[in-house]
A and B are shown apart, each in its own frame.
Chain A
Amino acid sequence: MFAIVIAVLAAAPAVAGTVHIAMKDVAFSPAKIAAKVGDTVEWANKDFVAHTATARDGSFNVDLAASKTGRTVLKKAGKVEYYCRYHPTMKAEIDVSK
């Protein structure tokens, strides 16, 4: 049963999906995640203060008030490091593959 599920997953064509990341307790969770070009990344701010998801390479800057959700579409492959401009102790990365 397990083997079948894995085989089906492996054989499935790459369909653009959505990757969910929480901003919770002043941290990105998960802090490291894999995604594919074309995927949408959605951040949900679960805190009572604003946060940003700001790419170090400038490829995205999502500014979210408390309890808001925002997204970006990943356009190129490679590792993107990002952080919160308001609380730069918040750091994370997305490993984007083709």
Chain B
Amino acid sequence: MKLATLFCAAAFACSVAGPSLAQGTKPTDPQIAHIAYTAGQLDIKAAQQALDKSKNQQVRAFAQDMVRDHTSVNDQALALCKKLGVTPEDNDTSKNLVKDADAYRAKLASLSGAAFDKAYAEHEVAYHHQVNGALESTLIPSASNGELKSLLQTGLKIFKGHEEHARSLASSLK
């Protein structure tokens, strides 16, 4: 109940501010696993849209990298959850991530060519930045299982790499 209240409060704050990850709340391990997994799946969906729409080789290569890496990280996450007997639990933070990502994909669907490429690349910078911030400030400090924490820490290093990669992609498209 208390957690739900906190998540709702955070969700409200976020719907105003834009980013939708809960700040300053303490999610449980099953919720953390769900949030991290969802964030990865959403980036894979974004990449699949880019692979459907873009003809730019750099953009396509980046999108393929995102599909490959986020699939690997999520496979690790699922294997760890299975090993630990943790069932990922849906929550308002995950729901908000999905809602925001669906809205952004719909927006990108109306763009094409260089406009699409630029918007996708810039959104990848912002999205990784947002997820990395949430990992650092909330998800990693809140994780109580050591192996989950360690996987999130490795994930953070990988996603910081993606953020930097997206940044150089976005600046090359200007």
Identify the A interface with B (CB < 8 A).
25-27, 47-50, 66, 84-90
Contacts and interface: CB of A to CB of B under 8 A. Distances in A.
A88 B164 contact: yes
Given A49-B69, A49-B73, A86-B65, 6 more contacts: A27-B157, A66-B72, A86-B69, A87-B157, A87-B162, A89-B157
B77 to A, nearest CB: 11
Interface range on chain B: under 10, 10 to 19, 20 to 34, or 35 or more?
Answer: 10 to 19
A82 B42 CA distance: 31
B157 A26 contact: yes
A64 to B, nearest CB: 13
A88 B154 contact: no
A87 B168 contact: no
Q: Is the interface of B mostly helix, strand, loop or mixed?
A: helix
A23 to B, nearest CB: 12
Contacts of A89: 157, 160-161, 164
Interface of B: 65, 68-69, 72-73, 76, 154, 157-158, 160-162, 164-165, 168
A86 B72 contact: no
A88 B163 CA distance: 9
Nearest to B160: A89
A49 B158 contact: yes
30 contacts: A25-B154, A26-B154, A26-B158, A26-B161, A27-B157, A48-B72, A48-B73, A48-B76, A49-B69, A49-B72, A49-B73, A50-B68, A50-B69, A86-B65, A86-B161, A86-B162, A86-B165, A87-B157, A87-B158, A87-B160, A87-B161, A87-B165, A88-B161, A88-B164, A88-B168, A89-B157, A89-B160, A89-B161, A89-B164, A90-B161
